[in-house]
Structure 1
Amino acid sequence: MATGTIVVTVHRPLRDMTLKPEDEARLETLASHVVSNDGDEPWTQDDLMEHLDPDVRAVITSWGSPKLDQEALAAAPNLEIVAHAAGSVRPYVDESAWDSGVRVTHAADVIAEAVAEYTIGAILLALRGFIGHQETLRAGAWKQSSGGSNVGGLLAERRVGVVAASMVGRRVIPLLRAFTPDVVLYDPFVDEQEAADLGVQLADLDTLMRTSDVVTLHAPILPATHHMIGRRELDLMKPGALFVNCARAWLVDQDALLDVLTAGRIEAVLDVFDDEPLPADSPFRDLPNAILTPHIAGFTLETRARQMGRMVDEIARHISGKPLRHEISREQAERMA
């Protein structure tokens, strides 16, 4: 017989996008009481506190949810599991949760699949010059059959440098290797054996930046990764190389990137920016050698529809005593985006 309370902090509009009706019905069978945020706005910290008590066994969070800080955790002393129906859990769960034996799981792997597909698509689109060709046709012209830079490039003949074997990076690597065997990786947490298992060569960051035809970033937000790609690193890139960032703007000195792109030395696909939404007068919008998207790498209809359902699965597995499929340790959380 189901016991205890499950608290769903996710506000109704987001819940409608990320939770299928059948999964919501299944959630109701996993506890004697389910408390949900049925409002149009995320709960405040005070709202959360009003719904926490010793009967709470599980909490589901997502984007915009209030943080389960030490005070909140103390208000739910029998909390067993936090299921985060989004990516990085660090802004939403205090590290003391792990000290208290609370299990933490998340849907980052669901989102990682979408980001990995976006990355491959972005690289292919950029190398083949899709955007430029579309503009040529819309202007009433036709291809440059005599050749030139608009002809495009073949990924099979390119070296791709992957910065970080993160959850996304590990999904990107096998997709890349379907096109090219020449994939190099920079990740200080990966040793030679693990790199061999991934099918990549390890390289230091400078070597990766200097020798790669395509550089794609997948590192997390950490103090050590702030502006890990600056003017010096960008200047190492080959003329005409492609730079892809669908991870975090935190990783890149945006002023340096703008300067290098304005000079026309490299091309880029950018999905993340320091200021979001990107201001209408941002100089990035005027760059002919940059493809810009509005932070949508992880968003697909299928991805969103699976996020909370995957967390309902995790709560069900926890209740039945089965191993969780997406549980993360405190150490893993500290290294995640």
Structure 2
Amino acid sequence: MGYTISAPPHIKSGISFRSINTAKILALVPVSLASVYFFGIPALGIILAAVLAAVITEFGIQKIFKQDVTIKDGHAALIGLMFALLTPPEAPIWIAVIGAFLAIAIGKHAFGGIGSYIFNPVLVAWVFVRSSWGGHMTPASIPNLGQLSDLLLENGAGLLVDVSPVLILIGGVYLVYKKYVEWRVPLVFAVTVFFFNQTIAFLSAVFSLVQEGVLNPLMYLATIFTFLQVTDELSYVMVGVVFFGILFLATDSPTSPVTKNGRLIYGFACGLLVSIYGYFGNYVDGTLYGIFLANAIAAYIETKTLPAMYGRESLLEKSYRRVVKRIPSSLKFEVISDERI
């Protein structure tokens, strides 16, 4: 009988890479079925084409380079499914095939495979396809939460993922509950998007009152009350693609920091970039481009938030020392011993 010898500590966990991918696929099955119900056969064709293309591409690459075939871990199928959900139902099948191929070949394996890529493979493929065939990748409509029923089934859905924000939210919350997804990134991401939009709406309303020369304090109090409520701008935020970005794209482990403080900062960066692009553009493109840009600074955030080695000055101590050095010596307090008195 053979034994595996390794350095302690030894922690047993029922969570594996395969179980994480399987859980994410299962979490996306309801919204995939809803998209087929809403868009019909075109949606089913796009999903099947993307998943098959991703799996075949991974199998081919690993065979060509004589690597262990890992299609059973479900990662390739997950990437294909996620790209399909970011595709409009009007797009031709070959768009899904090319996108899935690029996600696996360029986004994943060109960077070294699992744990080595710096950009989410799904976003790499989406940015390339969106830039190359913008006409096919432009959704026919931009979703807008007009009433509460749109959370369950969005009649203005432009992408497959937009058909049901609630199903995306339920699937993502389930992953957080089962600890397949770490909670810090999605929580800070969502809070940042919410407060950014509320603050912008509040400042816009106040600026309008000032321009109109309104001096009545009650009008400003009413504006503050409006700020505390859900504004119309949030109707463009509470859509499927935003929830998908918060819970599924931004939480991808290889493209997000491993440190706890780093994940908080990264979640804020995602929320800020998405909010700026979405507010001045649209939240469909804004969510995907914003997270893609946040991927670029994830490694920097992780490096700057690594715990200091024992005996090394902390960030607070370094900041204090820099400030003290800039203070003129004449202004510093001196300690006078009893011998000098």
TM norm structure 1? 0.24
Q: Which has the higher helix share?
A: 2
Q: Specify which structure has the bigger relative contact order, considering alpha-carbon pairs within 8 angstroms and separated by 6 or more residues.
A: 1
Q: Which has the higher strand share?
A: 1
TM norm structure 2? 0.23
Point out the structure with max Rg over C-alpha: 2
